[in-house]
Structure 1
């Protein structure tokens, strides 16, 4: 039997990139997958078609998770359509590039809201039911920049570092209830969104590769190792941070 047969997984930011790759990995392991997104209906339906071709079931759910009540509404929709959430992958976020001089109060608040606060809200929305079932997995998608830092990404790196503290504290709080909480820290992963950055904010691929032990660009499917942390074989792993960066930072 597939290791996640009978489990329901909700992945935020799942219409493209790392999120979409994660939905495929979870579906391949037998999970029913809810594809969370915001106003990316065509991409979400494509991702849904892909998991159905793998023989899994799933739905797509859309919400602006920066709205205070949106997390609860998204989780309620998932419960009503496919059942309680067993696995939450907090992948949604944004990658705002700006210099420190450009980082005003509004930009700072926005970066923390989309890269940290909404993950708190999503986690809060699923944990009560997980505690009732005495089983659950929460996996937060941080960034290697949480440890390395990078010019032009101060607010983003700060928010992603906050996910490490959220992960460790929730692991302590929820471990007695059979809930494991972990973080993955992707490195330089090649995703379509990087093509929307202004040219002066784009790192050269050869410079990124030179930092690593594995001399190639990371791909979204590399980060889908998230599915391992959701599997029964990882039930004794919690409060940890897994670098998926080709050996950029040896941690």
Structure 2
């Protein structure tokens, strides 16, 4: 497959999820070779890998618990040994645990930060030496518009996503001089299948969400994937340290 990412290798975390799988397919369609990572979803990873390869792309899938430094190091070494240096990191994996503030324990807090912030640091820290050596790289963190909007029962999650934006800006300063960009894409209310299992009244939730937005439709994973695909290209080489909200105009300014 050829396209603006031809010759580049991208590692996509959380690749079996509703958002991650669409991101992976978009990058493959744009010519990237894919490393698809997941925690424990071998069947979905195999199906996604087959879908990409059957379409003419190149992809492998690897399982790892990204909360642990040893697992991240092993994953990155295995990916490098099989496909060569990673040029593009799409740090997408995360979780969305809800805990009322008064019931948020230190264990809850540590777990949500490990999943939604520390894992992103570990991956970036492991992969940036080869990007630096190549004088080219793209780091794209997947944040959330909730870092700006706030919401009850999500203090840990929102704190982690706000931390990702700070990490993005720090990496932009550190790595810009050597040709590596770092940006954060913050989705708004994006319709994914997992929503069906956590929303009691989808129609009422959608109505409330549309009242917040300028664009009167729910976001789609493809909207987010398109923004990520652009930031991964040569054309985005002068964009770094930014948070791009893909939210239909939920948060303005």
Name the TM tier (shorter chain): over 0.9
Contact 1:16–1:47 under 8 Å retained in 2: no
Shift of 1:150: 0.4
Q: What is the distance in 2 between the residues matched to 1:187 and 1:193?
A: 15
Q: What is the distance in 2 between the residues matched to 1:215 and 1:202?
A: 14
Contact 2:13–2:38 under 8 Å retained in 1: yes
| Segment drifting more, 195-204 vs 119-128 | 195-204
Structure 2 partner of 1:188: 189
Structure 2 partner of 1:162: 163
Q: What is the distance in 2 between the residues matched to 1:207 and 1:50?
A: 36
Q: TM-score, normalising length from structure 2? A: 0.95
Q: What is the distance in 2 between the residues matched to 1:122 and 1:174?
A: 15
Structure 2 partner of 1:72: 73
Shift of 1:213: 1.1
Contact 1:9–1:87 under 8 Å retained in 2: yes
Shift of 1:206: 1.3
> Runs in 1 of length 4+ with deviation above 4 angstroms?
200-203
Unaligned runs of 5+ in 2: none
The 1:200–1:100 alpha-carbon spacing in structure 2 relative to 1, beyond 3 Å, is farther
Q: What is the distance in 1 between the residues matched to 2:182 and 2:55?
A: 27
Shift of 1:200: 8.8
Provide the aligned length of Structure 1 versus Structure 2. Answer: 251
Unaligned runs of 5+ in 1: none
The 1:179–1:203 alpha-carbon spacing in structure 2 relative to 1, beyond 3 Å, is farther
Secondary structure (helix, strand or coil) at the match of 2:46 reads helix
Match for residue 233 of structure 1 among 222, 232, 235: 235
Structure 2 partner of 1:3: 4
The 1:221–1:145 alpha-carbon spacing in structure 2 relative to 1, beyond 3 Å, is same
Deviations 1:81-104 (A, max 9, x none): 111100000000000111101111
Deviations 1:106-158 (A, max 9, x none): 00111111000000000001001111110000000000001111011111000
The 1:184–1:203 alpha-carbon spacing in structure 2 relative to 1, beyond 3 Å, is farther
Shift of 1:201: 11
Q: What is the distance in 2 between the residues matched to 1:117 and 1:202?
A: 35
Cα RMSD after superposing both structures: 1.6
Contact 1:7–1:87 under 8 Å retained in 2: yes
